[in-house]
Structure 1
């Protein structure tokens, strides 16, 4: 089992962990701050350091069960099983993804009533696809995004019983990705205050702590991807 420390504290840039296994398929640690690719968000990159060496982490993915695989170059020297390593993420890349992922939730909040059919988080460009025949004008979406960003709203993670999906199925906006079930707990991302809620959705990704941290956002374009499918692409402003 790999403890997912990033789920509760996405601001950690490094931590000490123990190597559970190391091979061509990747390195498994007992705990990690490296986000494993999923839900449209790329996996983290960075480095693992130990007493006698270090290795670059080129990607992070989910392994069998609850394991997380830290992928390394094919010719890399691997740390021994049982070794203590310092796991260090590429913070600039992670923080860019955090800002953009949170901005995508703001975008989702502006397109009310439309299901999300797909999405991809990127440091330089991100997109959300909506089941939406007539999207608002690009300028209106961009203005709405930046108003929410400038409001510097709180962003927080909370854990609830997964049975909330049965009592409130409207929490899930995505048609392409459904929250995992079976663990008993559900991770929700909330933007706004209790009396002024902007967004509340299941999400396993990493996010900033306040919307003001995102910085200006531009809507680059809106693409027609089908009879009712519209792709909205955002970039840092």
Structure 2
């Protein structure tokens, strides 16, 4: 199992690890992984690995990371190249700007689910925008109000924190789950919750496995994008980072 370093510190940009395996498809498995694997609508991280080989310093580009079996995270090279040998120590280096933009967008989508308090049937994150699909038969008429409400929340600069509860506690509190199509990962005995605000200033609490900014002010100004009809009951709402 790859220890998920991104889970304990989403701001960690470089870290050492040891190569524990290669996959038949040419992927790389590390014993401790800095790269977030594709999941929950959030793309896998990209970056590089560096190590000392027989002929000096070697490196390989990582295009993305995906989930493997048994908790492994598999790093997929951006092009065919010699892989770091199993057992060797590598330095992982993230494409930090891309990761941080994913964090900003992901937290912004949590805010969107606060401003539009309807069940969510899907979502997707990119480096400049994101979208949520809502159980929303009619498109909202107050686009300007939605955008303003989002930016007011960002300006509050509330803290974004996490906590863990048991599977049983989540089952006893089903209202914590906003997504209709994707259930939070269960079966390991505990589930991660992401909280925005604290005490009387709390505005959101929901299960989530993705990476987030530590304070809302990091998101920056938001712009509401297209609202598309996706079926009889669904509306797809896009949200953009202004910079």
Pairwise same-fold verdict (TM > 0.5) = yes
**Unpaired runs of 5+ in structure 1?**
none
- The worse-fitting range, judged by mean Cα deviation, of 96-105 and 51-60 is 51-60
Partner of 1:134: 138
Partner of 2:75: 70
Q: TM-score, normalising length from structure 2? A: 0.94
Residue of 111, 114, 126 corresponding to 2:116: 111
Aligned partners of 1:135, 1:210: CA distance in 2, in Å? Answer: 30
Partner of 1:120: 124
Aligned partners of 2:111, 2:210: CA distance in 1, in Å? Answer: 14
Aligned partners of 1:217, 1:73: CA distance in 2, in Å? Answer: 31
Residue deviations 1:31-79 (CA, integer Å, cap 9, x gap): 0110000000000000010012111001100011100000014521100
SS at 1:163 equivalent: helix
Residue of 172, 189, 193 corresponding to 2:198: 193
Flag as ranges the 4+ runs of structure 1 deviating above 2 A.
Answer: 22-25
Partner of 1:226: 231
Aligned partners of 2:78, 2:12: CA distance in 1, in Å? Answer: 24
Partner of 1:2: 2
Q: Does 1:99 align with 2:104?
A: yes
Higher helix share: 2
Aligned partners of 1:39, 1:156: CA distance in 2, in Å? Answer: 18
Partner of 2:31: 30
Indicate conservation of the 8 Å contact 1:14/1:88, yes or no: yes
Q: Does 1:206 align with 2:211?
A: yes
**Unpaired runs of 5+ in structure 2?**
none
- The alpha-carbon deviation at position 210 of structure 1 amounts to 0.3
Aligned partners of 2:231, 2:92: CA distance in 1, in Å? Answer: 43
Aligned partners of 2:59, 2:165: CA distance in 1, in Å? Answer: 38
Aligned partners of 1:67, 1:25: CA distance in 2, in Å? Answer: 14
Residue of 147, 163, 184 corresponding to 2:168: 163
RMSD: 1.1
Q: TM-score, normalising length from structure 1? A: 0.97
Q: How many residues align?
A: 236
Aligned partners of 2:113, 2:131: CA distance in 1, in Å? Answer: 11
